[in-house]
Amino acid sequence: MEVRSEGSAGPASEVYSHSRLSAFENCPRKFQYRYLWKIPAEGESIEGFVGKRVHEVLERLHRVAETHGVPSLPRVLWRFQQMFAEAYDAARVRIVREGTPVDFYRGLGEQCLANYYREHYPFDRDETLALEEHVSFDLGGGYALQGFIDRIARTRDGAIEIQDYKTSARVPTQEQVDEDRQLALYQIGVGARFGAGSPVRLVWRYLRQRRTLVSTRTPDQLETLAVQTRALIDRIRSETSFAAKPSALCRWCEYREGCPASSARRADRPAYAPRAAQPAAPAQLGLVF
């Protein structure tokens, strides 16, 4: 059994992910709470909640389209509404923007799904190779990474696309996605399995805006990314202070009520302390709309 000190960022054998790396970059204190001290998240934002439901429905949509035929759009929206209602808990899901009704966010999810459905119907433009694909890989030198890819597809021109669904309000610039780390890391992880000898495209689908951004990486760019990511992991492993980094993101942080650096800190909350992580039950996904 591994025993980890409060200041340690984990053993060299620990597996990292883009989310884990981003958490450290955005706020080392939050990284410590979530990944080192294993503090359970105190709910989730409504934006994150809607995004999860949209992703679940899109996964189901593609699986059903392959095995049972394409369901109608009203049926897809009905399924989203059912999954939303079953999972929504007002005590756990936080609406940061005060005065905004939950129906507004439900409507945004429906808009995202309707946009995607109308743009891709009848879902025969490419071949689905994988959905919600778990990838784990080594960056060299024992630096292990993992992640989940929304969809991997082979297009009619023979290219492999690593696709990511986005439900956020903001669409980045082309320059920003050309520097994006997440999908490029996934390309390193799945390149040999799906993309050997084929061109690989990184694709972001911004569902609310019906915008698709595409980028590519050269072998040299992927090697540079691997070097940069290994250096970041080294920084995390050597970190001892895990200082808070207050920002606008604090409003959405699941630890804001217990973090000393948060303006929303509750005086009646005890200080956070390390605790053991509890294993999560595997998610189950049906195939019926």
Q: Each residue of 28-45: pLDDT tens digit? A: 999 999 999 999 888 899
Indicate the pairing of strand 93-94 with strand 44-45: parallel
Backbone angles phi, psi at 87, to 5 degrees: -95, -20
Give residue 272's pLDDT.
84
DSSP string, 166-219: E--S----HHHHHT-SHHHHHHHHHHHHH-TTS-EEEEEEETTTTEEEEE---H
In this predicted structure, the answer to whether residue 286 has a pLDDT above a threshold of 70 is no
Token digits of residue 186: 């996934």
In this predicted structure, the answer to whether residue 1 has a pLDDT above a threshold of 50 is no
Q: In which band, very low, low, confident or very high, does the pLDDT at 282 lie, cut at 50, 70 and 90?
A: low
28 three-state secondary structure: helix
Q: Which of these ranges, 16-20, 42-46, 261-265, has the smallest mean pLDDT?
A: 261-265
- Cα 105 to Cα 260: distance, rounded to the nearest angstrom: 30
- Residue 186 vs residues 16, 83, 172: alpha-carbon distances, Å: 13, 28, 19
**Tokens 């433009």 correspond to what residue?**
125
Token digits of residue 1: 């059994």
In this predicted structure, the answer to whether residue 70 has a pLDDT above a threshold of 90 is yes
Average pLDDT over residues 204-223: 97
Give residue 280's pLDDT.
55
Q: Which of these ranges, 20-24, 39-43, 260-264, 279-283, has the smallest mean pLDDT?
A: 279-283
Give residue 279's pLDDT.
56
Indicate the pairing of strand 211-215 with strand 200-206: antiparallel
Q: What is the residue-averaged pLDDT of the chain? A: 90
Token digits of residue 218: 């050269």
Of 14, 35, 39, 37, residue with least CA distance to 26? 35
Q: String of b and e for 236-252 (b: at least 16 CB within 10 Å)? A: beebeebebbeeeebee
Q: In which band, very low, low, confident or very high, does the pLDDT at 195 lie, cut at 50, 70 and 90?
A: low
- Cα 9 to Cα 155: distance, rounded to the nearest angstrom: 41
> Which residues touch 113 (CB under 8 Å, ≥6 apart)?
54, 57, 58, 76, 77, 80, 207
Indicate the pairing of strand 160-166 with strand 144-155: antiparallel
252 and 45 Cβ atoms separated by less than 8 Å: yes
Give residue 8's pLDDT.
44
Task: Compute the chain's Rg from CA coordinates.
Answer: 20
In this predicted structure, the answer to whether residue 94 has a pLDDT above a threshold of 80 is yes
Give residue 260's pLDDT.
87
> Which residues touch 226 (CB under 8 Å, ≥6 apart)?
139, 140, 188
Please state, for a pLDDT cut of 70, what percent of the chain lies above it: 90
